[in-house]
Amino acid sequence: MTTSHYIAGHWVEGQGSDCISVNDPALGQPFAELMAASVSQVDQAVAAARSALPAWKSTCASERAAFLRGFAEQLGQRREALVTLQMRNNGKPRHEAEIDLDDAIATFGYYAELAEQLPSKNCTVPLAAPGFTARTRLEPVGVVGLIVPWNFPLVTSAWKLAPALAAGCTVVLKPSEVTPLIEQAYGQIADALGLPAGVLNIVNGKAETGAALSNHNGLDKLSFTGSNSVGSQVMRSASAQCRPVTLELGGKSAIVVFDDCDVDQAVEWIVAGISWNAGQMCSATSRLLVQDGIADALLPRLQAALENLRVGNPLTEEVDMGPLTSQAQWLKVASYFATAREEGLQCLAGGHALDREGWFVSPTLYTDVPKDSRLWTEEIFGPVLCARRFASEEQAIAEANDSRFGLVATVCSADLERAERVADALDVGHVWINSVQAVFVETSWGGTKGSGIGRELGPWGLSAYQSVKHVTRCLG
Ligand code: NAD
Alpha-carbon distance of 303 to 4, in angstroms, equals 44
The fold of 254-440 is: Aldehyde Dehydrogenase; Chain A, domain 2 (3.40.309)
Measure 61 CA to ligand 1 centroid, in angstroms.
Answer: 31
99 burial class (0-12, 13-18, 19+ CB within 10 angstroms)? middle
For ligand 1, atom 14, which residue shows the shortest CA distance? 207
Question: How is the beta sheet containing 132-140 ordered, strand by strand?
Answer: 124-125, 132-140, 466-474
Angstrom distance (rounded) from CA 17 to CA 23:
19
d(C-alpha 214, C-alpha 208), whole Å: 10
Inter-residue contact 202 to 6 (CB < 8 Å) = yes
Report the separation in Å between the CA atom of 98 and the middle of ligand 1, taken as the mean of its atom positions.
Answer: 23
Residue among 95, 34, 40 nearest 319 (CA): 95
357 classed as catalytic: no
pLDDT of residue 101: 98
pLDDT for position 2:
60
Q: What is the pLDDT of residue 275?
A: 98
282 lines ligand 1 (CB under 6 A): yes
Instruction: Evaluate whether 114 touches 189 at the Cβ level (below 8 Å).
Output: no
Cβ–ligand 1 contact at 322 (below 6 Å) = no
> Would you say the CB of residue 325 lies under 6 angstroms from ligand 1?
no
Whole-angstrom distance, CA of residue 419 vs CA of residue 189: 43
The verdict on the CB of residue 211 being under 6 Å from ligand 1 is yes
- Residue 291, ligand 1, Cβ within 6 A: no
Q: Which residues, 6+ apart, have CB-to-CB distance to 18 below 8 Å?
A: 35, 36, 177, 205, 206, 208, 209
Closest CA to 219 of 192, 186, 246, 194: 246
Q: Residues 59-77, buried b or exposed e (16+ Cβ, 10 A)?
A: bebeebbebbbbbbebbee
From residue 195, alpha-carbon distances to 9, 294, 307, 346 in Å are 8, 56, 48, 56
What spacing in Å lies between the alpha carbon of 157 and ligand 1's midpoint?
A: 12
Coil/strand/helix, residue 175? coil
CB-neighbour burial class of residue 38 (10 A; exposed 0-12, middle 13-18, buried 19+): buried
Give the mutation target among 282, 378, 449 for probing the ligand 1 site: most ligand atoms within 8 A of CB.
282
Residue 416 belongs to what H/E stretch?
helix 416-425
What type of residue sits at position 280? Q
pLDDT at 166: 98
Angle between helices 153-167 and 61-77 (to 10 degrees): 160
Domain ranges of the chain: 5-249+451-474, 254-440
Eight-state DSSP code of residue 30: E
pTM metric for this prediction: 0.97
Are 56 and 40 in contact, with CB atoms under 8 Å apart?
no
3-state secondary structure 191-251: HHHCCCCCCEEECCCCHHHHHHHHCCCCCCEEEEECCHHHHHHHHHHHHHCCCCEEEECCC
In a structure prediction context, what are the per-residue pLDDT tens digits for the chain, which is 476 residues long?
466 899 999 999 999 999 999 999 999 999 999 999 999 999 999 999 999 999 999 999 999 999 999 999 999 999 999 999 999 999 999 999 999 999 999 999 999 999 999 988 788 999 999 999 999 999 999 999 999 999 999 999 999 999 999 999 999 999 999 999 999 999 999 999 999 999 999 999 999 999 999 999 999 999 999 999 999 999 999 999 999 999 999 999 999 999 999 999 999 999 999 999 999 999 999 999 999 999 999 999 999 999 999 999 999 999 999 999 999 999 999 999 999 999 999 999 999 999 999 999 999 999 999 999 999 999 999 999 999 999 999 999 999 999 999 999 999 999 999 999 999 999 999 999 999 999 999 999 999 999 999 999 999 999 999 999 999 999 98
What residues are paired with 146 via a beta bridge? 173, 223
* φ, ψ (nearest 5 deg) of residue 265: -65, -45
Please state the length of the chain: 476
CA distance 55 to 48: 12
Nearest protein Cα to ligand 1, atom 26: 149
343 is catalytic: no
**What DSSP assignment string belongs to 260-292?**
TS-HHHHHHHHHHHHHGGGG--TT---EEEEEH
Ligand 1 centroid–CA 426 distance in Å is 25
Whether ligand 1 lies within 6 angstroms of the CB of 467 is answered as: no
The finding on whether 461 has its CB within 6 A of some atom of ligand 1 is no
Q: Which of 116, 248, 379, 456 is catalytic?
A: 248
Q: Best substitution site from 227, 235, 333, 381 to test ligand 1's pocket, by max atoms within 8 Å of Cβ?
A: 227
Minimum CA distance residue for ligand 1 atom 35: 226
Dist. CA 391 → ligand 1 center (Å)? 37
The answer to whether domain 5-249+451-474 has CATH 3.40.50.720 is no
Tell how far CA 99 is from the center of its chain: 14
Among 261, 282, 386, 412, the active-site one is 282
Q: What's the CA gap between 427 and 308, in Å, rounded? A: 33
Report the alpha-carbon distance of residue 75 to residue 274 in Å, rounded.
28
Residue among 151, 234, 281 to mutate when testing ligand 1 (max atoms within 8 A of CB): 151
State how far the Cα of 276 lies from the Cα of 437, in Å rounded to an integer: 10
d(CA 169, CA 163): 9
Whose C-alpha lies nearest to ligand 1, atom 15?
207
